[in-house]
Amino acid sequence: MSTVVSAAQLSARRRLSNRRETVAALLFISPWILGFLIFTVWPVIYSGYLSFTDYDVINDPNFVGLENYVTMFEDPRIALSLTNTLIYTILSVPAHIIVALVLAMLLLRAARASGFFRTVFFLPKMTPAVAVGVLFLLLFNGQDGLINKVLRAIGLPAPYWTTDPFWVKPGLVLISLWAMGSSIVILLAALKNVPVELYESARIDGANLWQQTTRITVPMISSTIFFLVIINTIAGFQMFTEAYTAFFGSGNTTYSNDAALFFVIYLFQQGFEFLNMGYASAMAWLLFLVITIFTVVQFVVSRRLVYYEGDQR
Amino acid sequence: MTSTLDPTDAAARAAAPLAAVETAEAPRVIPPRRRTTRSRIARVVLYVVLAGCAVVFTYPFVWLVSASFKPRSDVFDNLLIPKNFTFENYLTIWQEAPIGVWLVNSAIVTILAAVTVTASSAMVAWGFAYFRFRGRGALFALVIGTMMLPGAVTMIPTFLIWNGLGATGTLTPLWAQNLFGSAFYIFLLRQFFLGLPRELFEAARIDGANNWRIFTRVALPLCRPALAVTLLFELQASWTDLMRPLIYLRDSDTFTVPRGLKSLLDQFGFGGEYHWEIIVTASVITTVPMIILFFIGQKQFVDGIATTGTKG
pLDDT at A254: 53
Residues A34 and A98 in one domain: no
pLDDT at B5: 36
Chain A partners of B33 at a C-beta cutoff of 8 Å?
203
Each residue's pLDDT tens digit, B56-90: 999 999 999 999 999 888 888 878 888 888 889 99
Residues A46 and A169 in one domain: no
Q: Does B304 touch chain A (CB under 8 A)?
A: no
pLDDT at B310: 59
Is A265 part of a structural domain of the chain? yes
pLDDT at B32: 52
Chain B partners of A250 at a C-beta cutoff of 8 Å?
266
Residues A30 and A167 in one domain: no
Residues A197 and A248 in one domain: yes
Residues A147 and A14 in one domain: no
pLDDT at A253: 54
Residues A213 and A143 in one domain: yes
Is A61 part of a structural domain of the chain? no
User: What's the domain count of chain A?
Assistant: 2
Chain-chain contact of A108 with B151 (C-beta, under 8 angstroms)? no
Residues A22 and A136 in one domain: no
Residues A189 and A41 in one domain: no
CA distance A190 to chain B (A): 7
A149, A196, A238: residue with CB nearest B152: A238
Is A63 part of a structural domain of the chain? no
Superfamily of structural domain B97-311: MetI-like (1.10.3720.10)
Chain A partners of B28 at a C-beta cutoff of 8 Å?
108, 192, 196
In the 3-class helix/strand/coil scheme, how is chain A assigned residue by residue? CCCCCCHHHHHHHHHHHHHHHHHHHHHHHHHHHHHHHHHHHHHHHHHHHHCCEECCCCCCCEECCCHHHHHHHHCHHHHHHHHHHHHHHHHHHHHHHHHHHHHHHHHHHCHHHHHHHHHHHHHHHHCCHHHHHHHHHHHCCCCCCHHHHHHHHCCCCCCCCCCCHHHHHHHHHHHHHHCCHHHHHHHHHHHHCCCHHHHHHHHHCCCCHHHHHHHHHHHHCHHHHHHHHHHHHHHHHCCCHHHHHHHCCCCCCCCCCHHHCCHHHHHHHHHHHCCCHHHHHHHHHHHHHHHHHHHHHHHHHHHHHCCCHHHCC
Domain that holds residue A43: 7-50
Is A268 part of a structural domain of the chain? yes
Residues A134 and A241 in one domain: yes
CATH code assigned at A233: 1.10.3720.10
Q: Which residues of chain A have pLDDT under 50?
A: 1-2, 312-313
pLDDT at A310: 54
Is A1 part of a structural domain of the chain? no
Is A56 part of a structural domain of the chain? no
Tell me the ipTM for this assembly: 0.89
pLDDT at B63: 92
Task: For chain B, give the number of residues.
Answer: 312
pLDDT at B14: 42
Residues A165 and A294 in one domain: yes
Which B positions 53-112 lie with beta carbon below 8 A of chain A? Answer: 53-54, 56-61, 63-64, 67, 75-76, 78
pLDDT at B272: 61
Residues A299 and A176 in one domain: yes
Task: Provide the whole-model pTM.
Answer: 0.88
Q: Which residues contact B174 (CB under 8 A, 6 or more apart)?
A: B109, B113, B238, B241, B244, B245, B248, B256
Is A106 part of a structural domain of the chain? yes
- Looking at every residue in chain B, the average pLDDT score rounds to 86
Which A positions 66-85 lie with beta carbon below 8 A of chain B? Answer: none
Q: Which residues of chain B have pLDDT under 50?
A: 1-27, 312
Chain-chain contact of A238 with B150 (C-beta, under 8 angstroms)? yes
